Amino acid sequence: MLPADTDRAWCRFPYKLSWDGTGWQPRDTSQGEFDYNPFAYDVGTLGRVLCTEYQHLTPQIPMLAPFLDRMVTRNIPVRFNAMEALRFFEAFVVGIPDKVMNLKYASGPDAGYDTCDRWEGLPPDFIKKWEDYREPPIAFSTSVLRWICSFDRMCYIVPPLIPPKVIGPFAPLIVELSTKYFIQWYFEILLNNLRLGMKAFEDVRL
């Protein structure tokens, strides 16, 4: 248990602890992160569950789009905390007509929570009003990082936690810079191995 005065905005756990759970976790540590915010992670986990169950209902309940996107956004500093998510939900749920709430809906397609476009088909004026809440598509660089970190060996390469002295307001910046240098180092190793392989191949030909 954490102390009651724990600052939830800057609390961090080692990334390996994020592997424990039900399998509904967000992908907050899938890009080579050293640590994660357990409170934001919990909100992301609930958001992923809600996306699985209800994201296909945005045509009937448009406010689900900004609500769910902000619960699972990859931009963790702007992700809802638990209280913000509850307040947002309570604010929009009262405006849903009873006839919509009382309808029975079929289960939605098996769409990924981080790839589904929950805004598809919504009115342009609604999208414009809530565009700040819209989650952008997954960047190519993020996909590359996820691919690199998908190999089992990565759990032995990525350090388990950044030094405690940098846990604080500058931790996200240090994590970002450390990850960039790590990826640069990793690709340098790959390129060096490729060069050695090509040289060995040329030597054999000669």
Does the pLDDT value for residue 182 go beyond 60? Answer: no
Domain boundaries, the chain: 13-205
Rg (CA), the chain: 21
Does the pLDDT value for residue 170 go beyond 60? Answer: no
CB 10 within 8 A of CB 24: no
Give, as one character, the DSSP assignment of residue 187: H
User: Residue 166's pLDDT is what?
Assistant: 41
Q: What is the pTM for the complete model shown?
A: 0.73
With H, G, I as helix, E, B as strand and everything else as coil, classify residue 28: coil
Secondary structure E strands in the chain:
13-14, 35-36
CA distance 20 to 113: 19
The confidence band for 82, taking pLDDT boundaries of 50, 70 and 90, is very high
Mean per-residue pLDDT of the chain: 80
Calculate mean pLDDT across residues 146-150: 83
